[in-house]
Amino acid sequence: MVAVMSTSQRSVTAVCVVHAIKPGHFHDTAIDKRPRSGPTSVDEVGLDGDEHVDGSHGGRDGAVYVYADEDAEYFARQLGRPLAPGSFGENVRTSGLDVSGARLGERWRIGEVVLEVCKPRTPCANLSQHVGVSDFHRDFHRSGRVGALCRVLHPGALTPGDTVLIETSPHHRVTVADFSAGIDADAARELLASGVSLAKEVRAKARRIAARDRPVSSTG
């Protein structure tokens, strides 16, 4: 990885935790998250006061979901209404940080907390139901503006207004949006060879992609 250590007006707009468990499309969902004022402690399994109903969400490689103001504003323009922090089920809303354009394995320091970008958000019908727009989750996915699920490398507290520092960025070229859209075999091999500690499902998918187009060695 290469050190970046630049702030460039990057900050936390809001820190959100679950407000209520609600019936979802197929099962109950904790997607209804609302901003919390003041510091919120975070450890390897997520934010204090947050929870995950569906076992496919959360876990250490998806402990904190980060979404950008800029991406939220894109959808606000599409829908013709504001989308407040928490509207996408995110834990952290940021300003000035290209969340979906971050490389897998990029590390962000927010106060004493260090997050590592692990994988893109994979939206389901619960997002459409929460936003109140049929099939919104499909448009969300197609846009590439999916936000980043992160692991917590160093616990601490997150507070609205905190500065976000890009601490390190890996040498490979695969971003959150790229991986969400689908990468080719060359990019998959580059990702696998990068030395980044990949989430289990990311590594498995990259291996499948790389194996599809494996170079055939020629013999003289």
pLDDT (0 to 100) of residue 219: 47
Instruction: Please report whether residue 42 resides in a domain.
Output: yes
Gap between the Cα atoms of 30 and 118, Å rounded: 21
pLDDT (0 to 100) of residue 23: 76
Q: Please tell me the total count of domains within the chain.
A: 1
Phi, psi of 166 (to 5 degrees): -80, 105
The alpha-helical segments, DSSP class H, found in the chain are 69-79, 125-131, 136-143, 176-181, 185-192, 200-212
> In this predicted model, what pLDDT tens digit does every residue of 104-141 receive, in sequence order?
999 999 999 999 999 999 999 999 999 999 999 999 99
Gap between the Cα atoms of 20 and 128, Å rounded: 17
CA angle 136-182-177, nearest 5°? 60
- pTM score, whole prediction: 0.91
Instruction: Please report whether residue 124 resides in a domain.
Output: yes
The SS3 call for residue 18 is: strand
Instruction: Please report whether residue 35 resides in a domain.
Output: yes
Gap between the Cα atoms of 164 and 113, Å rounded: 10
CA 214 to chain centroid: 29
> In this predicted model, what pLDDT tens digit does every residue of 151-168 receive, in sequence order?
999 999 999 999 999 999
Beta strands in 50-190 (DSSP E): 64-68, 92-95, 107-110, 113-120, 148-154, 156-158, 164-169
Instruction: Please report whether residue 129 resides in a domain.
Output: yes
Instruction: Please report whether residue 217 resides in a domain.
Output: no
CATH number for the domain that contains residue 116: 2.40.33.20
Gap between the Cα atoms of 129 and 122, Å rounded: 15
Instruction: Please report whether residue 200 resides in a domain.
Output: no
Instruction: Please report whether residue 199 resides in a domain.
Output: no
Instruction: Please report whether residue 215 resides in a domain.
Output: no
22 — pLDDT class (breaks 50, 70, 90): confident
The whole domain housing 168 covers: 2-172
